[in-house]
Amino acid sequence: MEISLSGGRFQSCLREIRKRARDVDDEKKGIKIKKEDWEKLHVHIASYNNFPTAAGLASSAAGLACLVFTLGKLMNVNEDYGELSSIARQGSGSACRSIYGGFVKWCMGKNDDGSDSMAVQLVNESHWDDLVIIIAVVSSKQKETSSTSGMRDTVETSPLLQYRAQTVVPSRILKMEDAIKNRDFESFARLTCADSNQFHAVCLDTSPPIFYMNDTSHRIISLVEKWNHSEGTPQVAYTFDAGPNAVLIARNRKTATLLLQRLLYTFPPQENDLDRYTTNMCTSDKHDHGSYMLGDKSILSDAGLQSIADVEALPAPPEMKAPNQKFKGDVSYFICSRPGAGPKVLTDEGHALIDSATGLAKGV
């Protein structure tokens, strides 16, 4: 799909990066561009997501952060990540955090023009490398209410938002920072789940109410809450952004395998998805949209799920009161990941999405 970059958010990012552009002189590639020439040059951008767009999984944050980072590299911009995060924020608020890797805080700032509203990295991705993230993609469909319009309506109509912003969030952020720095998973999980639930309570408090989650989202929450309660301490944290898809954070890889077993027991593939599960579970093609598991597929082997027969043989979790209740096909697919390093330049030309000879997306 080809889109224009004429929209205000894209243009803001382009304008701010061009302001900071510098001369480029690459003798090896025979490229010489003067600073003032960047105002007249056009760019052709190709991007690829391995997760749904506009479905509540921060696709705009990832896309705009990548756009700003890449344009900065292209135009030889000499700004620190904090300044780049401030530019990315103008494209998508959450994009400012995606400029960094690891755990990142978005600082509100005090200036009326928002110029000092930027992100700071609390710790890098190696600080808490035990964590494993499993994303349950419930729906790839574009959400009915966009994040931008939804937040605008919430600001205008929700009394609960004012209480949340003024009373809850400031102290919760400090507690979350301490939990991350101390690698205190129990506090981290309780804060994460509570904040997710309150965010969606604010959505319901909006007029008209905004329904981002669905029945499958609620069942995933119930699954995690029952397991955490039965263990006496949190094993997994859940969080839902502006959509029905669950981001589940396990305290370590062993816990992640137990989580995946519970998820696949409760939400097994439909019959017509069995081949997709079996055929693709061991492949690692980065453009493999057909898989039932994307990202780190080795988690399936670690969980003892080498085939669909292994999924069908999974025992009911001991904390489950209705063990025969299953919801086939209610989760489209899973993504296994971990805290990442943020944007990076790939030097292997084989990863390029643009044909260096034509300047167009490959395959066009």
Cα 110 to Cα 82, 117, 118, 167, 334, distances in angstroms: 15, 8, 11, 18, 40
Domain chopping of the chain, boundaries? 8-122+343-351
- Do 93 and 114 contact (CB within 8 A), yes or no? no
**Separation CA 17–CA 10 (nearest Å):** 11
pTM equals 0.89
Nearest to 264 by CA among 323, 331, 218, 216: 331
Question: According to DSSP H, which parts of the chain are helical?
Answer: 8-19, 59-74, 81-91, 95-98, 147-157, 159-163, 169-181, 185-205, 215-231, 253-266, 274-280, 298-302, 308-312
Question: In this structure, what token pair is assigned to residue 154?
Answer: 């919430």
What is the CATH number assigned to the segment(s) 8-122+343-351? 3.30.230.10
**Whole-angstrom Cα distance, residue 295 to residue 58?**
17
Query: How far is 87 from 339, CA to CA, in rounded Å?
Result: 23
- CB-count exposure of residue 233 (10 Å: 0-12, 13-18, 19+): exposed
Measured distance CA(226)–CA(218) in Å, rounded: 12
Distances (CA, A) of 129 to 100, 251, 303, 337: 16, 10, 19, 11
Per-residue pLDDT of the chain (364 residues; tens, 9 = 90+): 667 777 788 889 999 999 999 999 988 888 899 999 998 988 888 888 777 776 677 788 888 999 999 999 999 999 899 999 999 999 888 899 999 999 999 998 888 888 889 999 999 999 999 999 999 999 877 767 777 788 889 999 999 999 999 999 999 999 999 999 999 999 999 999 999 999 999 999 999 999 999 999 999 999 999 999 999 999 999 999 989 999 999 999 999 999 999 999 999 988 655 555 555 554 444 445 457 889 999 999 999 998 889 999 999 999 988 777 899 999 999 999 999 998 989 888 888 888 888 888 887 6
